[in-house]
């Protein structure tokens, strides 16, 4: 609906393409492929499995930049692989569903991505979720303001990211362990601790109404209060100010879109991947540690391959995590549970199988999905098999029926049967299926 | 339409699952994955990339046999990886589209698979193609009859498989190199050379009518003549006779199905994979060396994992080879070439972008695919961009339009424009698109 074009990239990338793009932890989780043929014995790897869809996209953009349109919007739904310890909703192979827009620095890109992702989740039946929003430049501004040298920003963010998990004292210790000066650690922690109090309203509401979204006016008040806190803290800090400006534009331009009810500022959001340069986003739902997806702006990643920077921004949804939540909450529509076939053809005598297949062909021509039972088992066993698969109808072809050009059709749920003329049977079964479907 | 259920398996399998299942050449073409963490330095591989969809299916069947229905029909469309030298229609990563039926020894399974594959190809627009048919037991009968010891059958088949490519003299030399006794080599070659003469009719027709299928009665005569040849050669050979019986049943039971116009006996067909035990099939079209797909019966493969044999038969289509042929022959429907968006929204002033996104949202609610141009470029440049993507309409929002609640919609092909009320614009553009589509 947003004009994204489909793209697929190979599962296997050159190993150098991936190494150094995901941070230290990412490097270790990459599946590496052994050289082939005579080089196999060397034990060296030259290829690796795709770790996300963003780095391969950047590689493709860098390689084909001259041939691509100035603005390139693509979607991609493919598996990625991470040698992680499997857990609930975390697999070693999982699908990412990505949308990215390449070639523009306009915050309109972020707004449209947030809208697109919001609409996907609403369409899937999600009601309460937040698109948490932060900005890498604002984070840099915070850290600069607290006197943390630029070369330690990465270390500091890793520690601050754990605030909700290990508390202020734990983060303080980790900051000191990571060589952040005590004074800076205290200053940045005092900022985040104060910030935490702003969310009280939200926490109360979450506990009270786990399924209802925060009313829009309260969400906006909350964002305003958070914004004011951050502005006060980074006052006269150029990088932080630019980050705040970016966030304000995104919030403002979203005001009349469907994203606006879900956008929530979250200054503790850091996102692990090292390639982000601007706005960063992450989707959370109550009851699930971790996120359903995330994204952000990465204006320098293409340049790491071609030497020529190209602005870019993207959003990624994790398919399996979404399916886990939908499964646990019973969000799948019942139509997904239908059997693989509408009708099964059964014969009494294997000599009639060729006739059964021809008859199946005429029913398929009517649009029915038809199973032919291929073995000379007892009819009772055949019907039981159809029933076990949830196939609603069985068409019985005995020698009498074949001679008369008829077929006996059993409705397994209603436990009724009627004799139909073979040429008309397909259409009549189709009608009966429609009735079943309407009944739900 | 045939009652196949979807299945996906992981891209990565334990290396022992794959090794030894595909023959010597296959073993060498498997991509192997390095152990992770502290074991990485060992240079050893414990995992490997899926080489086909059949062996992983057999592994799944063996593992979950007790929980699966007695008859299990599944389809699977996923990539596989082979460290092959890339060529036209041959890639290192490619999609296989497989249908398999597990749990029955009935030839009805083979017939239904041939029908399903035939209908897929007809649906895609293929007219002339053959589903070549042979039987591993019949091949064993030929070789036995020619006095080739059972332990050299594999070697002999590799050589005979090259008959069309390197001729009888070349194959004779290769048979001798592979330690087949000269007498046996001459006998089997004389059989295949005689057989070759049966195809003259087909070769003539192929040259004369590259796009037209052989008339059904001539195809049946040809199959009959081939069948008689084989029967005479393997007379009183038990294994060969059983293979011939299998082929006859498949041909007979197919007679009134859509497969019958495409089934052609081809006794030189061997298929490289080592796991086949019964009927084998391969699809060929004129003008393409190699096949669009193939399959066969593999009654022992599940037993290699669980110790308990389960009958099984499957067919695999190679997606990329089909796409290559369809591309070269211009078989893709024009609707596939449509642009990624129906309309692009352009603004003169970046301050109007938030309005543009809201307007885009109302058009998307009408079912339109809408691109928003995110940058403050000159309008001429924006329109040129839409045109380069093939987007048929551009909706211009100037400050006058926004104030009046209107929008100027340009039809890029007709080079016309009209001013519409914003709330009605979506429906009107949708109508105009229908007209464009009907015109073709």
Do A299 and A101 form a contact (C-beta atoms < 8 A)? no
From the number of C-beta atoms within 10 Å of its C-beta (0-12, 13-18, 19+), residue B186 rates as: middle
Is B267 inside a domain boundary? yes
pLDDT of residue B286: 84
Is A440 inside a domain boundary? no
- Of A189-203, B181-195, B370-384, least confident by mean pLDDT is A189-203
Give φ, ψ of B256 to 5 degrees. Answer: -105, 15
Which residues numbered 206-265 in A keep a CB inside 8 Å of some CB on B? 252-258
Residues A217 and A240 in one domain: yes
Nearest residue, CB atoms, B69 vs list A2, A69, A385: A385
pLDDT of residue A165: 82
Upper half-sphere CA count for residue B256 (Cβ side, 13 Å): 11
Answer whether B14 touches A (CB < 8 Å). no
B71: chain A residues, CB-CB within 8 Å? 373-375, 385
B31: chain A residues, CB-CB within 8 Å? 12, 33-34, 36, 47
Residue of higher predicted confidence among A303 and B333: A303
- Of A192-196, A328-332, A417-421, B389-393, least confident by mean pLDDT is A192-196
- Give A162→chain B minimum CA distance, Å: 25
User: Predicted confidence band at B440 (pLDDT cuts at 50, 70, 90)?
Assistant: low
Of residues B122, B36, B113, the one with CA closest to residue B74: B113
Distance of alpha carbon A72 from alpha carbon A56, whole angstroms: 15
**What ipTM goes with this model?**
0.90
Nearest residue, CB atoms, A43 vs list B28, B43, B257: B43
Which residues numbered 83-122 in A keep a CB inside 8 Å of some CB on B? 83, 92-93, 101, 104-106, 108-109, 111-112, 115
Of residues A159, A182, A180, A184, the one with CA closest to residue A171: A159
Q: Of A263, A297, A328, which marks where a domain is finished? A: A328
Distance of alpha carbon B258 from alpha carbon A184, whole angstroms: 77
Residues A77 and A222 in one domain: yes
Evaluate if residue A440 carries a pLDDT over 70: no
Looking at the DSSP bridge assignments, the partners of residue A99 are A75, A315
Average pLDDT over residues A381-404: 95
Is B323 inside a domain boundary? no
pLDDT of residue B335: 80
Residues 6+ away with beta carbon under 8 Å from B342: B368, B369, B370, B391, B392, B393, B429, B430, B433
Residues 6+ away with beta carbon under 8 Å from A417: A396, A408, A409, A410, A411
Residues A374 and A294 in one domain: no
Evaluate if residue B275 carries a pLDDT over 80: yes
CB contact under 8 A, B12 and A372: no
Evaluate if residue B403 carries a pLDDT over 70: yes
Answer whether B374 touches A (CB < 8 Å). yes
Residues B53 and B156 in one domain: no
Residues B96 and B176 in one domain: no
Distance of alpha carbon B390 from alpha carbon B383, whole angstroms: 11
Residues A278 and A380 in one domain: no
Task: Copy the structure tokens of residue A230.
Answer: 């951050």
- Could you report the per-residue pLDDT of B150-191, keeping only the tens digit for each? 999 988 988 888 887 888 899 999 999 999 999 999 999 999
* pTM higher than the cut 0.95: no
CB pairs under 8 A between A and B: 189
- Could you report the per-residue pLDDT of A87-118, keeping only the tens digit for each? 887 899 999 999 999 999 999 999 999 999 99
Crossing angle, helix B422-439 and helix B353-365, to 10 degrees? 60
b/e for A202-228, b at 16 or more Cβ within 10 A? eeebbeeeeeeebeeeebbebbebbbe
Do B222 and B188 form a contact (C-beta atoms < 8 A)? no
pLDDT of residue B435: 87
Is A73 inside a domain boundary? yes
Answer whether A35 touches B (CB < 8 Å). no
Residues B125 and B68 in one domain: no
Distance of alpha carbon A110 from alpha carbon A252, whole angstroms: 12
Residues 6+ away with beta carbon under 8 Å from B190: none
Residues A161 and A257 in one domain: yes
Distance of alpha carbon B176 from alpha carbon B186, whole angstroms: 10
A104: chain B residues, CB-CB within 8 Å? 374-375
- Could you report the per-residue pLDDT of B80-125, keeping only the tens digit for each? 999 998 888 889 999 999 999 999 999 999 999 999 999 999 999 9
Residues B99 and B113 in one domain: no
Do A345 and A386 form a contact (C-beta atoms < 8 A)? no
Nearest residue, CB atoms, B108 vs list A37, A109, A353: A353
Of residues B265, B262, B270, the one with CA closest to residue B248: B265
Range of the structural domain that residue B405 is part of: 340-439
pLDDT of residue A301: 95
**Cα angle, residue B208 at apex, residues B206 and B210 outer, rounded to 5°:** 50
Looking at the DSSP bridge assignments, the partners of residue B420 are B407
CB contact under 8 A, A104 and B40: no
pLDDT of residue A143: 95
- Give A47→chain B minimum CA distance, Å: 9
- Could you report the per-residue pLDDT of A119-155, keeping only the tens digit for each? 999 999 999 999 999 999 999 999 999 999 999 998 8
B73: chain A residues, CB-CB within 8 Å? 340, 371
User: Predicted confidence band at B209 (pLDDT cuts at 50, 70, 90)?
Assistant: confident
Residues A300 and A415 in one domain: no
Q: Of A328, A347, A362, which marks where a domain is finished? A: A328
A375: chain B residues, CB-CB within 8 Å? 71, 104-106
Nearest residue, CB atoms, B255 vs list A101, A354, A385: A354
Evaluate if residue A364 carries a pLDDT over 90: yes
Cβ neighbours, 10 Å, residue A56 = 23
Evaluate if residue B39 carries a pLDDT over 90: no
Residues B163 and B99 in one domain: no
Looking at the DSSP bridge assignments, the partners of residue A118 are none
Do B51 and B80 form a contact (C-beta atoms < 8 A)? yes
Percent of chain B exceeding pLDDT 70 equals 100
Evaluate if residue A304 carries a pLDDT over 90: yes
pLDDT of residue A12: 97
Evaluate if residue B232 carries a pLDDT over 80: yes
Task: Copy the structure tokens of residue B429.
Answer: 């553009």
Do A273 and A26 form a contact (C-beta atoms < 8 A)? yes
Average pLDDT over residues A220-225: 94
- Could you report the per-residue pLDDT of A19-56, keeping only the tens digit for each? 988 877 788 899 999 999 888 888 899 999 999 999 99
Distance of alpha carbon A37 from alpha carbon A47, whole angstroms: 14
CATH number, position A246: 3.30.930.10
CATH number, position A403: 3.40.50.800
Q: Of B103, B123, B142, which marks where a domain is finished? A: B103
pLDDT of residue B241: 96
- Could you report the per-residue pLDDT of B317-370, keeping only the tens digit for each? 999 999 999 999 999 988 888 899 999 999 999 999 999 999 999 999 999 999
- Pseudo-torsion of CA A163, A167, A172, A174, nearest 10°? -70
Percent of chain A exceeding pLDDT 70 equals 100
Is B345 inside a domain boundary? yes
User: Predicted confidence band at A416 (pLDDT cuts at 50, 70, 90)?
Assistant: very high
Is B176 inside a domain boundary? yes
Residues A374 and A246 in one domain: no
Is B77 inside a domain boundary? yes
pLDDT of residue B150: 92
Average pLDDT over residues A322-326: 92
Q: Across chain A, what does the average pLDDT equal?
A: 93
Q: How many folded domains does chain B comprise? A: 3
Q: How remote is the C-alpha of B337 from its chain's centroid?
A: 22
Q: Across chain B, what does the average pLDDT equal?
A: 93
Is A333 inside a domain boundary? no
């Amino acid at each position: 609906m947003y004009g994204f074009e489909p793209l697929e990239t190979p599962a296997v990338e050159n190993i150098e393409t991936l190494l150094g793009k995901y941070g230290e932890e990412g490097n270790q989780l990459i599946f590496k492929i052994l050289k082939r043929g005579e080089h196999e014995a060397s034990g060296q790897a030259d290829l690796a499995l795709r770790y996300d869809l963003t780095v391969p996209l950047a590689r493709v953009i860098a390689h084909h930049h001259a041939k691509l349109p100035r603005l390139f919007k693509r979607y991609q739904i493919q598996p990625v692989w991470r040698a992680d310890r499997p857990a609930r909703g975390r697999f070693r192979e999982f699908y990412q569903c990505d949308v990215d827009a390449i070639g523009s620095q306009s915050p309109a890109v972020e707004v449209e991505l947030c809208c697109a992702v919001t609409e996907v989740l609403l369409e899937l039946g999600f009601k309460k979720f937040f698109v948490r929003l932060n900005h890498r430049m604002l984070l840099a501004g915070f850290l600069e303001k607290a006197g943390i040298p630029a070369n330690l920003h990465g270390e500091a963010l890793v520690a601050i990211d754990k605030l909700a998990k290990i508390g202020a004292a734990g983060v303080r210790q980790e900051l000191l362990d990571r060589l952040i000066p005590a004074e800076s650690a205290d200053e940045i922690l005092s900022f985040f601790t104060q910030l935490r109090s702003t969310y009280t309203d939200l926490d109360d509401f979450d506990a009270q109404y786990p399924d209802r979204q925060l009313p829009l006016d309260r969400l906006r008040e909350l964002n305003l209060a958070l914004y004011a806190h951050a502005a006060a803290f980074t006052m006269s800090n150029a990088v932080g100010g630019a980050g705040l400006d970016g966030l304000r534009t995104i919030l403002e331009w979203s005001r009349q879109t469907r994203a606006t009810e879900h956008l929530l500022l979250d200054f503790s959001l850091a996102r692990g991947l090292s390639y982000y340069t601007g706005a960063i986003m992450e989707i959370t739902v109550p009851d699930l540690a971790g996120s359903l997806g995330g994204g952000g702006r990465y204006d320098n990643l293409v340049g790491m391959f071609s030497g020529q920077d190209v602005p870019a921004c993207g959003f990624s949804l994790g398919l399996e995590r979404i399916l886990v939540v939908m499964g646990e909450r019973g969000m799948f529509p019942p139509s997904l549970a239908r059997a693989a076939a509408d009708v099964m053809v059964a014969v009494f005598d294997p000599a009639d199988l060729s006739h059964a297949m021809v008859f199946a062909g005429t029913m398929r021509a009517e649009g029915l999905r038809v199973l032919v039972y291929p073995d000379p088992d007892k009819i009772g066993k055949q019907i039981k098999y159809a029933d076990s698969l949830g196939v609603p109808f069985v068409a019985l072809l005995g020698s009498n029926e074949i001679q008369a050009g008829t077929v006996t059709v059993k409705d397994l749920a209603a436990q009724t049967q009627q004799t139909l003329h073979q040429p008309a049977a397909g259409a009549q079964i189709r009608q009966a299926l429609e009735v079943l479907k309407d009944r739900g």
